[in-house]
Structure 1
Amino acid sequence: MDLKLLSAIGAAGAAGGDVIGVEDVFKTYVYTGNGTAQGTVQQIVNGIDNTGGGLVWIKNRGQNVSHMLLDTERVDGNGDTYELKSDSSNAQAGPYSGMNITAFNNNGFKLEGNGGNTNENNKEYVSWNFKKQEKFFTICTWTGDGNTGRVISHDLGSVPGAIFIKKISGSDDWTVWHRRLNEGTNPHTKKIYLNGTDAEAASTNDFTAAPTSTGFTLGNDGRVNESSSDYVAYLFGHEEAEFGPNSDQKIISCGSYEGTGSAGLSVTLPFELQYIMIKNIDRASTGWFIFDSMRALPVGGEDFALFANVNGSETSWGVEFIDINATGFTLKTVGNDDTNKNGDTFIYIAIAAETGKTSKVPENASDVFAMDYGNGSTTIPAFDSGFPVDFGLLKRPASSTEWSATSRLQGPNYLVTNDDSAEAAGSAYVWDSNVGYTAVSWADSALLSWMWKRNAGLDCICYKGTGSARTIEHSLGSNNVPEMIWTKKRNNTGNWHVYHKGLNGGTTPQNYYINLNTSDAQTNTAIWNNQPTSSVFHLSSDGHANSNGDDFIAILFSTVSGISKCGYHTCGAGNVTLSMDFSPRFLLLKNISTGSTPWVVIDTLRGITASAGNTPTLNLSGTSQQSNYTWIQSISSSGIEINAGQGDRFSNDGDDFIWYAHA
């Protein structure tokens, strides 16, 4: 089918009022090449529908080979794509039969061949897939006419935040327009080159007027509008609030900041980012940095960069460049020319992370929660999930061993849920996979991992304590209030502290907490200051979860219909029914009235047996191996029934319990 017709079909679908999440229009996908010869095929299934148009930008992570930009507008009649390289001024090359991308699919794209830029055997690659979507991204092509004032119409449906233009029929630089060139005043009077390291420079014949929501105006420079030459432009949106579960969120931002030369500069965004490209526009010999959270963008660890203008391999130099949070990012480098030189202006293009705030509400629980025994692979993933893992718990159920808790934001580090120890380094905890995590031989078939993806029911936040009462923004989304929160000091010893909406029987629960790493009952101390809302959670000046200068992590849980639920109940003399509107695969249960009671963990992978059967039960606050108990009366499509008279760990008459379940 003609690609122009496919584009029209895609635009019509988008105009129909469908909810569009960031996961529908952008995806960072990492893969290992399998090309041993021309004609070798690899299907990349990333969930992006490219049949309506799009761009796939690919880089070999470990070798000095060029970036490869392949799009739906530059395809020959056989489906073969023409190559462009962001680090080169060369004309497009190809197409090469049976090489690079040979099909743009409704769930990704098809690679063929063994080219080093896209699919060489056993080489590691990253791909960034931009879907053609109104208010987010689009592509234009034209043939130059040499006339100043040439208007190129576009279908972005909004004023662009940035435009990349490349002559494809001949050699010339990539010309970039960005809304914050010239400090945002008449930015069309300046230009900068994507394939170079120069600072911004005056321009009179690249762009001759400010872009509008329907077109952009060109001069007659050979880079953009030489007579009879052919061109492509990539247009990026800017902060249009039309995405996410309520179609009111912004998912792309084209902005700027002024460097201070000191660590701690905060840059505000309307979202937590997953991808960012940064360029110093005041200083030459500076590159176009690309960071993304799939390859590594931890809070408090080294960040791995690629450069759009250089064919070099991925590197971190052992440096932490930025820390991300729910409202933007913080610069961590001191005086770095490329990201934080004092007084210099930096432009960026940032794309929102997949969170409850920016993604569609999950329809299938298996898309956001999985359990798996390890396979002992030293190549990621040792645990298979089917999705990018953001938070994981690990335990050997049949052994007396500690629990580990780790998250993408922590990078190669972990905490232990059954004690108060500080975060420890764990090089096995790697995250650069779209279908699992971890790579180490000891992650064998005796080790079990429970894995979550961030969504409306689960969020992860790293923050630094201040010692003063405050609020911290989260990304569960405006439809979801945190109903359970775990906090833990990362850099020092300290208990895990838990907020749950059912503390104190659900009355002023913010005045109570309970420890995750002990068997204690709830404690009447107000470390939360107030109940959470759909945008923030509260911390008091109490040092348990907010000591000045300490680094913390918070894991937030919420109810999502058919997916997850936080609940509480008081036991009576009879059986207790936990109503969930789903059949749980995972249940966490705690008696908050009586001390010396475990944090009970059961799941369907190890087995939940009703009636008189034994259910293998673990304790999240202890190291003991699982034990069998006959405490489950029944399990159904709407929840679990607990037998009466099972003692204080399960159903003690008169005691209050809190719980969390996942389908």
Structure 2
Amino acid sequence: MAYTTINKSKDYFETKLYVANATQRDITGFNFNPDWVWLHNRIQSVNSMLFDKVRGATKQIHTNTSGAENTDTQSLNAFISNGFSLGTGWGNSASGNNYVSWNWSAGNSSGSSNTDGSITSTVSVNATSKMSIVKYTGNGSDQTVGHGLGVVPSMIIVKCLTTAHDWVVYHQGLGNDKAIAFNNYNAEYSATAWQSYTPTNQVFYIKGGANSVSQSGDFVAYCFADVSGYQKCGTYTGNGNADGTFIYTGFKPAMMFFKKTTGSAANWQMWDNKRDPDNPVENAYHIDSNDADGSPDQDIDFLSNGFKIKSSQHHLNNSGTKFIYYAVAEAPLVGTNNVPCTAR
């Protein structure tokens, strides 16, 4: 039974929908102060934007490109109590367009110095929900970086901020000798990015050299560890059947994304319980593209204790293929308050 110390997932993560109005405005109503905010236009084919409190408001990066960080003072221009502020630029400029924001708590901080690794990092961490934002400067050599979680990370998403380079993802389901890009739909690849070492409860390993996660320049890393009943980074194997695989997580998902790891190219897929409040969950957002919402032939069901694939499409259910996923809870199966979760 997946008991958890987190009875109210909305204290740490929430998906929020809003409609752009092209005026300075605040998006509020969270149970926490968002530290990592991911914005997506559901109507138009434009780049999604990621902001975090460690890099600072107005500093944006895109999941679907290899581009460096850039600044837009009229995008997300402030992190405020229980929310964030938007200017008249990207994220709010297309008046009447529907947007979604995915929002995480990571300690409500612009970060503090962490000297656990061989190079000093700046870390903001939520010790309860096990999510941290890490900024560090690579020097081109093999190094270790402190992540602040206090436990071994299950997934690390790294982006170079200074120059244009692919996103690099570590996932425990791939192991320490492989990586996968976030900004394209290519399969996993053999990599020395992590020096072939598994992260510890204090640091993760980065390999030096050009086009690496330790080249000269600034980087951001988003780090996650499994939390029973709240957050899971796992794997499943497709069966190629429209009545697909059931994957146990120990909670009802609020949001999840996953990726086919081998074989023919396939997009990263993301779903949530706000754009699709009922099953089937079918408004898949492609993390690695600038597409608007919608892949109606790629359905899943969110259940009280996990999720079930409801499509034979190779992007999410190719027979015999391994998929990696990240899922965060709407509600645990059973919390410490002994209240069971109900299915949809």
- TM bucket by the smaller chain? 0.7 to 0.9
* TM-score (structure 1 length as normaliser): 0.46
Q: How does 1:621-660 map to 2 (within 5 A)?
A: none
Aligned length: 318
Instruction: Check the 8 A contact 1:27/1:46 in 2, yes or no.
Output: no
**CA distance in 2: counterparts of 1:61 and 1:536, whole angstroms:** 29
Q: Which residue of 1 aligns with 2:121?
A: none
**CA distance in 2: counterparts of 1:162 and 1:112, whole angstroms:** 32
CA spacing shift, 1:292–1:535, aligned 2, 3 Å: closer
CA spacing shift, 1:342–1:109, aligned 2, 3 Å: same
Match of 1:86 among 63, 66, 75: 63
Match of 1:326 among 292, 297, 304: 304
Instruction: Check the 8 A contact 1:44/1:110 in 2, yes or no.
Output: yes
Q: How does 1:244-255 map to 2 (within 5 A)?
A: 250-255=229-234
**CA distance in 2: counterparts of 1:265 and 1:161, whole angstroms:** 22
Instruction: Check the 8 A contact 1:48/1:131 in 2, yes or no.
Output: no
Q: How does 1:185-584 map to 2 (within 5 A)?
A: 187-221=175-209, 222-227=211-216, 229-238=217-226, 240-241=227-228, 250-262=229-241, 263-296=243-276, 298-299=278-279, 301=280, 303-317=282-296, 319=297, 321-334=299-312, 336-353=313-330, 355=331, 358=332, 475=333, 477=335, 479=337, 535=340
CA spacing shift, 1:42–1:177, aligned 2, 3 Å: same
Instruction: Check the 8 A contact 2:68/2:164 in 1, yes or no.
Output: yes
Match of 2:50 among 44, 64, 69: 69
- 1:170 positional shift: 0.3
**CA distance in 2: counterparts of 1:275 and 1:478, whole angstroms:** 22
Q: Deviations over 1:332-378 (max 9, x none)?
A: 112x111000000000000111x4xx4xxxxxxxxxxxxxxxxxxxx
CA spacing shift, 1:302–1:272, aligned 2, 3 Å: closer
Instruction: Check the 8 A contact 1:297/1:304 in 2, yes or no.
Output: no
CA spacing shift, 1:152–1:302, aligned 2, 3 Å: closer
Instruction: Check the 8 A contact 1:323/1:331 in 2, yes or no.
Output: yes
Q: How does 1:27-38 map to 2 (within 5 A)?
A: 27-35=14-22
Instruction: Check the 8 A contact 2:45/2:290 in 1, yes or no.
Output: yes
Match of 1:131 among 105, 116, 120: 105
Q: Deviations over 1:226-263 (max 9, x none)?
A: 12x1100011121x24xxxxxxxx21100000001111
The percent identity for this pair of structures is: 29
* Matched AA of 1:345: K
Matched residue SS, 1:31: strand
* Matched AA of 2:172: R
For CA contacts below 8 A with separation 6 or more, give which structure has more relative contact order: 2
Pair 1:105-2:68 in alignment: no
- 1:130 positional shift: 1.1
* Matched AA of 1:24: D
CA spacing shift, 1:296–1:19, aligned 2, 3 Å: closer
Match of 1:174 among 144, 149, 167: 167
Instruction: Check the 8 A contact 1:272/1:325 in 2, yes or no.
Output: yes
Matched residue SS, 1:128: strand
Instruction: Check the 8 A contact 1:60/1:118 in 2, yes or no.
Output: no
* Matched AA of 1:190: K
**CA distance in 2: counterparts of 1:226 and 1:302, whole angstroms:** 40
CA spacing shift, 1:320–1:251, aligned 2, 3 Å: same
**CA distance in 2: counterparts of 1:89 and 1:284, whole angstroms:** 21
Q: Which residue of 1 aligns with 2:30?
A: 47
Instruction: Check the 8 A contact 2:24/2:88 in 1, yes or no.
Output: yes
Matched residue SS, 2:317: coil
* Matched AA of 2:270: I
**CA distance in 2: counterparts of 1:118 and 1:161, whole angstroms:** 34
**CA distance in 2: counterparts of 1:320 and 1:19, whole angstroms:** 30
**CA distance in 1: counterparts of 2:153 and 2:272, whole angstroms:** 22
Unaligned runs of 5+ in 1: 1-17, 182-186, 242-249, 359-474, 481-533, 538-552, 555-663
**CA distance in 2: counterparts of 1:307 and 1:257, whole angstroms:** 19
Q: Which residue of 2 aligns with 1:146?
A: 140
Matched residue SS, 1:350: strand
Instruction: Check the 8 A contact 1:54/1:138 in 2, yes or no.
Output: no
**CA distance in 2: counterparts of 1:536 and 1:154, whole angstroms:** 32
Structure number with bigger Rg: 1
Q: Deviations over 1:449-468 (max 9, x none)?
A: xxxxxxxxxxxxxxxxxxxx
Instruction: Check the 8 A contact 2:16/2:102 in 1, yes or no.
Output: yes
**CA distance in 2: counterparts of 1:41 and 1:172, whole angstroms:** 32
- 1:322 positional shift: 1.0
**CA distance in 2: counterparts of 1:305 and 1:162, whole angstroms:** 21
**CA distance in 1: counterparts of 2:92 and 2:152, whole angstroms:** 33
- 1:325 positional shift: 1.2
Instruction: Check the 8 A contact 2:252/2:341 in 1, yes or no.
Output: no
**CA distance in 1: counterparts of 2:298 and 2:196, whole angstroms:** 39
- 1:88 positional shift: 0.3
- 1:478 positional shift: 5.6
**CA distance in 2: counterparts of 1:536 and 1:156, whole angstroms:** 27
* TM-score (structure 2 length as normaliser): 0.87
Matched residue SS, 1:277: strand
Q: Deviations over 1:251-303 (max 9, x none)?
A: 1100000001111421111111111101000123201100001001533x361
Runs of 4 or more off by more than 6 Å in structure 1? none
- 1:102 positional shift: 1.6
* Matched AA of 1:42: R
CA spacing shift, 1:346–1:118, aligned 2, 3 Å: farther
* Matched AA of 1:137: M
Matched residue SS, 1:338: helix
In proportion to residue count, which structure has more strand? 2
* Matched AA of 1:342: S
Instruction: Check the 8 A contact 2:137/2:218 in 1, yes or no.
Output: yes
**CA distance in 2: counterparts of 1:305 and 1:297, whole angstroms:** 13
CA spacing shift, 1:168–1:201, aligned 2, 3 Å: same
**CA distance in 2: counterparts of 1:476 and 1:281, whole angstroms:** 31
Instruction: Check the 8 A contact 2:285/2:292 in 1, yes or no.
Output: yes
**CA distance in 2: counterparts of 1:118 and 1:48, whole angstroms:** 22
**CA distance in 1: counterparts of 2:253 and 2:6, whole angstroms:** 20
Unaligned runs of 5+ in 2: 107-125
**CA distance in 2: counterparts of 1:289 and 1:118, whole angstroms:** 24
**CA distance in 2: counterparts of 1:479 and 1:350, whole angstroms:** 22
